Each structure stands twice: as structure tokens, then as C-alpha cells.
Amino acid sequence: MMKLLRILLIALRALKRNPMRAGLTTLGIVIGVAAVIAMMEIGTGVSQEIQRTITDMGANALMILPGTAATGGVSFGAGSSVTLTPQDCDAILRECPAVRWAAPVVRARAQLVYGNKNYVPWQINGTTPDYLQAQNWADLAEGEPFTDKDVRNASKVCLIGQTIVRELFEGESPIGKELRIHNVAFKVVGVLPRKGANMMGFDQDDLVLAPWTTIKYRVTGSPLASANQSSAASGTSNTVNTLNQLYPLSQLQLYPVQSAVQQADTPLPVRFTNVDQVVVSAQSADQIQAAIRQVSDLLRERHHLRGDTSDDFSVRDMTQMVAVLSSTATLMTKLLLFVALISLIVGGVGIMNIMLVSVTERTREIGLRMAVGARARDILRQFLVEAVVLCLSGGIMGIAIGRGCSMLIRQFLHWPVEASWLAIMAAVAVSASVGIVFGFYPAWKAARLDPIEALRYE
């Protein structure tokens, strides 16, 4: 310990004799390390940002879409058949252990009216409170989420995103206000937190959430008559409950409206209440594959698909997209890191160059040190330690400057930046090894000198 301190002290004294040169020599290392640190910090920042965006879209999210309807060879595209039911969703939640949350989604596109303003949001989703969990909306900015009871009762309540607040409410609190969706009055019970644009550039805050029953039966206007499951679930009454007669809609009726008695006499063919999609969230990222398998098996069984009948639904997950995005970011970081490493090597060569000059210049000193009893290995160690001290102090300065740069970038460009201990440790290790590698040859040359010739050197 004592000895190490002594050696360090000698190296520092030697470097102090030419501070300007020492400073300029380390500059290469300073720049190299600063670049490495800044790159790593920005790189980790970006990948964390990507991670966050993905979590925003729904942690470990899966999307189940109904299958493709095809008639006479004409395909109508994914989601065009009506095979998914809310009961499927309940079953998934109940029977798939890898699934944490599952929520049905009914989509609508309608005009919002508040006071004298109107607006058409990007998404109006009818769903259950689970949706908030599955899509990471759970921390409401204001108010309370709607409840399962609201879903059962098809209550006219809704949650709105930040964009809607901005478009319609202009600074006043929307909580408790009446908002008309497709001419149906909804009470705003909560405001969703801000998420910003998603990876595809869509504004995720441009969103209204309401109980799916409300959207399905009151907004998009499918009559409850076609939803015999819910009437069977809720109804002990013999009369067929047609809510659309209670709340008449301004939709054009193609066929003469039947009276309740007529409907009871001639029951319509049974149709399921369908939903547009089911969002599912797996227990954890590594359970996603298990969740996909369990959901697929369950749905095939529920939809009575046997043998090689193809699925009438499709399950999509984000893994692929996540992988693409992360690999792009990693690739960029690696590339920049590579460039930064090259500058480190250039810095190392600079150190070697100056150390060689220094050895030549200090030949007499080396001779003298040998004359007073320095062994070859003492000389080797001295010059090696000098090189390492140069590199390490350059490295430490580089870390400070690199951190400073990434702080500035965060301050002024608002890029995500994440301090990386790994990068700092790597920078210290790399600069020390650059010192050893590039300091070795000059040190070895110094140690090999003959004391008599070195003393005589002019």
C-alpha cells in the first residue's frame, strides 16, 4: 500500500514537470472516454424510452382479433368476422393462468359534443375496468375509473384522454360534466393520464373509454335483441327486453319495427354479442408465449374448432415490434460506441507516442535512476504507472465531460438520458488498459537502456 502510494507519487511528480504536455497527451483519452460515456448514456436512455413506450401501449400486451370473414373467395380482412364474445373474454381471464388481465373492446367512431364545441376522437373504446390495467392507464390524472357495475348496468359514464380535455374543455375540469357521444349524454368520471404519441405516431391521448355495454347498445346501436346472452343473463322476465325501443335512435330502420309480442312470437335467429377485440395482458414478459398458447387453445375449444379447422381469431403480440425497435436502437448505440472506441485507440496511440518521446528525452534521468539503484523493473513500472495515471486521469475527466454532455443534451434537446454505471466502470477499465497496453512498449524501451550509455546520452 505504502509502496503503491510511493510509486504513484513518483509518477505524479514526473508528470508535474511537464503539465502542459501531460494535459495535451490525455486529451485523446478524455475525448474518447467522453464520447463513450455520452454514447452509452444516450443509448441506454433511448432503449429505456422504447421500453417505456412499449409499457405504455400495454405491459406484455396481447391483442385478440376475430378472424377473417371470407365469402366466395373475397376476404374482408382481419377482424371482419364476428366470433369473439365477452364471454370468451371472461373465460380467458378465468381459465388461462398466464393471463393477468383481459378486457373486451368495442370500437365506435362518433362525434363528441360539449357545449358549443364538437370533436371526433381517434378512438372511442367500450371496455371493462380491466382495460385500464392491461393498457397501463390505471393512474388516472383526475377522477375515478368506471366500475364493473357500470359495465353491467350500461351506465353512461366515460373516461377521457388529455387531448379530448384540451379540445373540448379548455382548462376547466371535465369531471362531472355531461358529454354527448353520438347524441347520448355521458358523464365524465375521470381523466386519463398523458401518454403522448405511440410508436406509430398516433396520439394515444385522443381516446374516450366507456363501459362496453354502453357503447355497444347505446352508441353503436346494436339492439339488445340480438344479444340474447346478456338478456338471458340478466333477464328472468319473459318479455324480451329491447332497450332500443326505450332509447330510440335516429338510425334508419330498413324493416318495419316489430312489436314486443311479435318478436316474442317469432324469435330471431340466435346471434352472439360480439366484441371487436379482446386485449389481454400476460402475467409477465416471459409468460407471453404461454399466454398465447393458452388463449388459442381455450378459444378453439370454445368456438368448437376441431382438428385442422383454422382459427377464427388471431392473437397478436408486440414481441416482434419490440424486438425490431430495440434492435435498431441497440445497433445505433453499438455503431456509435464503436466509433468512440476507435477514438480511444487513437488516444492510446497518442499516449504511446508521447511516452516514447518522453523516454528519449529522459534518457539521462533513466541512467541516473539506474545508477542510484533502480532495477530494470523499477524503471518499467515507473513509466507504466505514468502512462496509466495519464490514461486514468484522462478517463476520469472524460467521464465528467461525457456526463456533462449527456446532461446538457437532456437539458436542451430533451433526449432521454440514463446514467450508466456499467459505462463508467467500463470507461475506467478501458482507459487503464489503454494505459497499460500503449504504455508498455515505451516503458519496456526505458527499462532496457544501458545505464552507462543512458548517463552519457546528450
Partner 1 sequence: MSLIELKNLYKTYHLGEVDVPVLKGISLNIGCGEMVALMGVSGSGKSTLMNILGCLDRPTSGEYWLEGEEVGRLSSNFRATVRNQKIGFVFQNFNLLPRTTALENVMMPLTYTAQHMTERQTRRRATEMLERVGLAERMHHHPSQLSGGQQQRVAIARALINQPPLLFADEPTGNLDSRTSEEILHMFQKLNEEQKITIILVTHDPEVAHHAKRMIRIRDGLIVDDGAAESATAEGQGVA
DSSP 309: P
Q: Does 203 bind partner 1 (CB under 8 A)?
A: no
Give the span between the Cα atoms of 92 and 316, in whole angstroms.
Answer: 15
* Candidate ranges 206-214, 252-260, 294-302, 448-456; the one touching partner 1 (CB under 8 A): 448-456
Q: How far out from the chain centre does Cα 204 lie?
A: 14
- Least separation, in Å, of the C-beta of 412 and partner 1? 43
- What values do phi and psi take at 313, rounded to 5? -155, 165
Among the listed residues 221, 134, 240, the one whose alpha carbon sits nearest the alpha carbon of residue 182: 221
CB-wise, 36 or 366, nearer to partner 1?
366
Helices 363-371 and 319-361 sit at what angle, rounded to 10 degrees?
70
Instruction: Please report, as residue ranges, which positions from 378 to 407 form the binding site for partner 1 (by CB under 8 A).
Output: 378
E-state strands within 285-427: 313-317
* Candidate ranges 31-39, 62-70, 364-372, 431-439; the one touching partner 1 (CB under 8 A): 364-372
Q: Does 451 bind partner 1 (CB under 8 A)?
A: yes
- Least separation, in Å, of the C-beta of 451 and partner 1? 5
DSSP 252: P
Among the listed residues 169, 171, 130, 174, the one whose alpha carbon sits nearest the alpha carbon of residue 148: 130
Of the candidate residues 372, 412, 414, 422, the single one contacting partner 1 (CB under 8 A): 372
Q: Does 373 bind partner 1 (CB under 8 A)?
A: yes
Q: Does 1 bind partner 1 (CB under 8 A)?
A: no
Q: Does 199 bind partner 1 (CB under 8 A)?
A: no
Cα R_g (the chain), whole angstroms: 35
Among the listed residues 106, 107, 92, 94, the one whose alpha carbon sits nearest the alpha carbon of residue 62: 92
| 279 burial type by CB count under 10 A (0-12 exposed, 13-18 middle, 19+ buried) | buried
Q: Does 2 bind partner 1 (CB under 8 A)?
A: yes
Q: Does 195 bind partner 1 (CB under 8 A)?
A: no
E-state strands within 26-183: 61-66, 70-71, 74-75, 99-108, 112-114, 117-119, 123-127, 142-143, 157-160, 178-181
- Least separation, in Å, of the C-beta of 358 and partner 1? 13
What is the contact mask toward partner 1 in residues 12 to 41, using x (rule: CB under 8 A)? Answer: -x---xx-----------------------
Q: Does 11 bind partner 1 (CB under 8 A)?
A: no
Q: Does 364 bind partner 1 (CB under 8 A)?
A: yes
* Candidate ranges 92-100, 244-252, 260-268, 370-378; the one touching partner 1 (CB under 8 A): 370-378
- Least separation, in Å, of the C-beta of 284 and partner 1? 58
Among the listed residues 119, 144, 115, the one whose alpha carbon sits nearest the alpha carbon of residue 132: 144
CB-wise, 315 or 376, nearer to partner 1?
376
Q: Does 376 bind partner 1 (CB under 8 A)?
A: yes
Give the span between the Cα atoms of 395 and 432, in whole angstroms.
Answer: 8
- Least separation, in Å, of the C-beta of 20 and partner 1? 12
Please, are residues 302 and 86 in contact by the beta-carbon 8 Å criterion? no
Q: Which amino acid is at 426?
A: A
Give the span between the Cα atoms of 441 and 435, in whole angstroms.
Answer: 11
Of the candidate residues 365, 399, 430, 449, the single one contacting partner 1 (CB under 8 A): 365
# of chain residues touching partner 1 (CB under 8 A): 26
- Least separation, in Å, of the C-beta of 457 and partner 1? 11
Of the candidate residues 240, 401, 426, 455, the single one contacting partner 1 (CB under 8 A): 455
- Least separation, in Å, of the C-beta of 47 and partner 1? 48
Give the span between the Cα atoms of 21 and 375, in whole angstroms.
Answer: 27
Give the span between the Cα atoms of 243 and 265, in whole angstroms.
Answer: 18
- Least separation, in Å, of the C-beta of 405 and partner 1? 35
- Least separation, in Å, of the C-beta of 456 and partner 1? 9
CB-wise, 297 or 450, nearer to partner 1?
450
- Least separation, in Å, of the C-beta of 369 and partner 1? 7
Q: Does 371 bind partner 1 (CB under 8 A)?
A: yes
Binding site for partner 1 (CB under 8 A): 2-3, 5-6, 9-10, 13, 17-18, 364-365, 367-378, 451-452, 455
